Amino acid sequence: MPGVPKSQGCQSCKLRKIKCDETWPACLHCQTSRLVCPGPAQLFKFVDHSFQVPGKKKHPRASTPREHGAGRAWHNLRLQRAHGSGISVGGCSTPECPSDQSPSPKAVSSTPSELSCMRLISHLDGGLQRITHLGLTFVLKLPTRIQGSACLRDSVQLFCSGLADFQHPEPKRDLMLLPEYGKALRSLRLALTNDEALKAETLAAVALMERASDLFDRQGKKFNIHSRAAIQMMRQRGPTNTDDELDVAVCNDLYGMEMSGWTVKGSGISAKTTGWKEALERATSTHRKIIKGDNLAMSDLETLAECCRNLNALISEFQNTSRKSFEAEPGADAAARNEQVIEMEAAIAKTIRMLLEYALEEGAMTVVKDPDSIVGKRYDFTNPMLCQLYLVVLFLQLVPLHILYETDRILHGKPDNDLNTRLRAVAVEAWMCIPYIRSSGWMAARFPEAPLYATYEVADSTEKEYILDMLQYLDNSSGRRLPPSRAAQRAYVLKKAKVLMGRDSESFYF
């Protein structure tokens, strides 16, 4: 019958106009291309209910949803389209669209926006924990908004193409050489020159391009162009619209990047400002539930945010005075600055203790014996975002400890032994997270590497080789371009550790 598909080949093979071998749950072409196979296409048979052959009974056949990875995700998206609301990613359904409903059979639409949604959802079929760790919480809101924004649709296509190429053992092209990258830039330029410039969809498109360049650029060409553009747009738009869920989600992800990445100084975005505070409190409560950090109050997160903001000024001031070897600095000024550093370190240490105790008690973190670990044991996390948060707060504690350690060495000629012991203890905590990072696959590139650099100087020779092996592993998955030889790597890591702590006399802290 005309119009009825005759092959159950997967949608990926049909779009590429190649024959599908139909070896489920994943066809050979999708396996060799390292793509998520959508599963077999549904064949629909048109039955004339007005006629029945005598002697035979009709047995109605219930339509069952497909269970083949991306096919399941696409089934949920069709439910959302049929009922007007609700979306499901990774088996997480919203109340508006329960996953046990079965829609009436209908042909799969092939509009560019819906195909982009299908691709994005199939790639993010790992659930909330994965996308929250990647800074992509806002993608849950995109399927209902992508239809009216060309730049958002093209950014989604760029992200999916970049991910597919990144997961390939031998990536074909640099991210910036993909045709989708140029198309996304052109669509974004048009959106920025008309009335779509300050819409939430446009900001989400820029944020998605930033995530793609940060996660999938193996050539190391990361100039934070899209990061600065996204935060600049967020500043121009002003406080987020708390009634717009997409606006709240994308601004929260960008605020976290601005807070911990120090991409723009003096951004003017404050969690204490009306509008920002309401939106960030809503998003923070969601994140605390995801990482099982309900014991972290908003005041604790504001303390961490304030420490992040003060680190730039603190390290720059320490660098300026250390260049002069404190010769022109009065002792009272040095003591006053040390008091400020001590207070910051104490506040961070308190937050770390509270987070660790609660996570261990609730089972979100567990200590496991591991002979392959440099310290004989490791941390296992139920959520990669919790591991990421733990590494960030450890780094925030390492910075003031290093400043106090170096200040004592310059003022008194030798460092305090107690400070060295505390530095080693924090370093061991960071090293216990390394086995978990290695087990994260391609998501390992999203974990911060600054804590590893910050612990390099307090490590012994064996521990330094362990750190270098881990940095090399991260380099292979993200293209951070470590020097090829081990001797050059040692010099590079040592210099970068000093730059991060403001102790390199040749480099100004930025």
pLDDT tier at 300 (50, 70, 90 boundaries)? low
Q: State yes or no: pLDDT of 430 exceeds 70.
A: yes
Cα separation, 389 vs 394, in Å, equals 9
Cis peptide before 95 (omega within 30 of 0): no
The predicted-structure confidence for 480-497, as pLDDT tens digits, reads as follows: 567 888 899 899 898 888
- Encoded tokens for 224: 């934070």
Cβ atoms 178, 161 nearer than 8 A: yes
pLDDT of the residue at 212: 83
Task: Name the pLDDT band for 367 (thresholds 50, 70, 90).
Answer: very high
pLDDT of residue 455: 92
Give percent above pLDDT 90 in the chain.
8
Does residue 29 register a pLDDT over 80? yes
Q: Which residues is 89 bridged to in the sheet?
A: 92
Q: DSSP assignment, residue 177?
A: G
Q: Of 454, 455, 485, which Cα lies nearest the Cα of 472? A: 485
pLDDT in the model for residue 418: 86
Q: In this model, does residue 38 exceed pLDDT 60?
A: yes
d(CA 116, CA 211) in angstroms, rounded, equals 17
pLDDT digits (tens, 9 = 90+) for 212-258: 887 777 665 554 677 778 878 877 877 777 788 888 888 777 766 65
> pLDDT band for position 196 (50/70/90)?
confident
Res. 139: pLDDT tops 60: yes
**Which of 12-16, 174-178, 184-188, 344-348 reaches the highest mean pLDDT?**
184-188
Phi first, then psi: give them for residue 92, nearest 5 degrees: -95, 105
Distance (Å) of CA 419 to CA 401, 406, 416, 458? 7, 10, 5, 11
Q: Mean pLDDT throughout 401-415?
A: 79
Query: Given this model, what pLDDT does residue 65 score?
Result: 40
**pLDDT band (50, 70, 90) for residue 369:** very high
Q: In this structure, are residues 180 and 188 in contact, taking their beta carbons and an 8 Å threshold? A: no
Higher pLDDT, 172 or 9: 9
Whole-number pLDDT of residue 429: 94
Q: Is residue 466 scored above 90 in pLDDT? A: yes
Which residue shows structure tokens 């069952």? 64
Higher pLDDT residue, 79 or 431? 431
Confidence at residue 66, expressed as pLDDT on a 0 to 100 scale? 40
Look at the alpha carbons of 12, 17, 22, 28 in this order and tell me if their dihedral is positive or negative.
negative
Report the mean per-residue pLDDT for the chain: 71
DSSP string, 363-410: TSEEEEE-TTSTTSEEEEES-HHHHHHHHHHHHHHHHHHHHHHHHHHH
Q: Give the pLDDT band of residue 467 (cuts 50, 70, 90).
A: very high
Over residues 70-79, mean pLDDT:
43
**Looking at residues 104-119, what average pLDDT do you find?**
56
Task: Pick the most confident of 1-10, 233-242, 359-368, 474-483.
Answer: 359-368
- What average pLDDT score do residues 154-173 get? 76
Q: Which of 63-77, 282-296, 337-351, 467-481 has the lowest mean pLDDT?
A: 63-77
What is the Cα–Cα distance from 59 to 52, expressed in whole angstroms? 11
